[in-house]
Structure 1
Amino acid sequence: MLKSWWGKVTGLEAANKRIADLEGLYELQKSITARKEEIIDDLEKELNESKIACIKLRGTVHKISAERADLRTRLANANGRKRRMTQ
């Protein structure tokens, strides 16, 4: 930064420095915004993958519950036959 002939910074030089500072801040803001959008996209992708995994897991739980109910029914029927045969 240049000084005027009496040793003080001129108004134009101060304005130019302020403009350079603002341009630097603008570039920083743009990079932060871009990174923020990348993070949001990554989180949305992970959320969707988690939702899919949850749906698959829910289907597996329903399948296991149905198999368990079927086994209970078969066991009850077998026990009923066993009782009838022993009477």
Structure 2
Amino acid sequence: LIGILISTLFINKDKYSEKGCFFYFLDLSCRIARLFRLKLSLTKIDPAPIIEMRRFPVLAEDNSDIFTVYAPKDFPGI
């Protein structure tokens, strides 16, 4: 996985006009064509003790659904 792997929380409305928390990853790419699943970890980074701390507590974790990464020549199109 290549790109920026950290995102800031954005509050927006989903497709049902319900308010929710969203994290956008605009610059992710993968060089290997196969099936993948992402592990997502939510942490709160407190800037006050950032100098002393090397790790931050994980508040929640989840896994994405499985998705397919295609080679450019095999991509089924838009």
Provide TM-score, normalisation by structure 2. Answer: 0.16
Point out the structure with max Rg over C-alpha. Answer: 1
Provide TM-score, normalisation by structure 1: 0.15
The structure in which a higher percent of residues are strand is: 2
Instruction: Kindly indicate which of the two structures has a greater share of residues assigned to helix.
Output: 1
Greater relative contact order structure (CA < 8 Å, 6+ sep): 2
